[in-house]
Amino acid sequence: MGRGTQLEKLARIERIREILLDHEGGLTAGELLDRLQTDGLQLNRTTLWRDLNEMTAYVDQSDGRYVVDRTRCPVPVEFRLDEAMALYLAARLLVDGTDRRYPAAAHALLKLGRAVQTTAPLIGEQVRRTGEVMESSARREDPHFIANLQQITTAWAQRRMVRLHYRKNPQERLKTHEVAPYFIEPSAVGQCSYLGGRREPPGELRTYKIERIERVEVLDRRYELPPDFDLAEHLKHAWGIWTTDGEPVEVALRFVPQAAARVRESRWHPSERLEPQPDGSLVWRAWVAETTEMLYWIKGWGALVEVLAPAELRAVLAQEARRLAQVYAAAPRD
């Protein structure tokens, strides 16, 4: 086969893949042929069947219709240099965001590294090495987590309900929840991931820590994502992933002058406001849905920050400060 003919074949296969991806219920050979000919591609049924035969790794035939299995379908992409750098940074965050051995992520990064190498060899090599870290035996082995994540991913891709066997904490009894997956969101706090979706009943949005799911069943029931659901809007008041049915509260923190510059270097929350003070300190304000999730961040600043509001959060930090004082007062000195 000549190079020109081979390129034409690859272009046809790519167009067939695009058309089938646009038709979730699949198409018959005749319907597919009509669409290809409408695009100006000159081919007959024999050529089409030969092309489809080369796509059996991710195209299934059922009741005379050809359907793409989205869980197996490759997605060819090309990257500019700045896009390659963005993906490299995302890959590094992925490594820092999980302590588990994650073969699927490793394989994805290895593929990404090979793709990026065509544009930026040095960056591609670092992405590839990041993939090797994700597969390293030095990371935690957790096949239970990986299996559950795969089941949830399949259900999410196919818009199917899941039955979660979930324990909120080690002391709580195991419960089952039927959930329509809306999103999966990683959280840097605790190196964990969350499933968010509509729980039935009561038909309300809930989040589940994937590491606490003991078993996942993918159900035959399908669901539709509400057209007005917007993940960014849903999480706009969350510190990380936690939301609340109530109204967000205003958090006010005063940072001492030594910390003010560092606070200004980053944007910590979408709603934040910065109020420089005459003495060089900085008052930081934001509307937060659930303040418990930001406790570790606040405590990380130590005595460089003071909670001004809300009163409940200030009381929690004051109690923590008293406990720390007791710990260090009782600790033996070298």
Does an H or E element contain 16, and which? helix 3-21
Strand partners, 61: 66
Structure tokens belonging to residue 322: 């008293």
pTM over 0.85, yes/no: no
Average pLDDT of the segment spanning 14-41 = 89
Q: What is the mean pLDDT of the chain?
A: 89
pLDDT at 72 over 50: yes
Distance, in Å, from the CA atom of 156 to the CA atom of 287, rounded to the nearest integer, reads 31
- Tell me if 196 sits within 8 A of 240, measured CB to CB: no
pLDDT digit string, tens, across residues 135-191: 887 888 888 999 999 999 999 988 999 999 999 888 889 999 999 999 999 887 777
Distance, in Å, from the CA atom of 285 to the CA atom of 9, rounded to the nearest integer, reads 58
Strand order in the sheet with 160-166: 204-209, 192-200, 175-187, 160-166, 213-222
Q: Read off the pLDDT band of 3 (50, 70, 90).
A: very low
- Count CB-CB contacts under 10 A for residue 283: 16
pLDDT at 81 over 70: yes
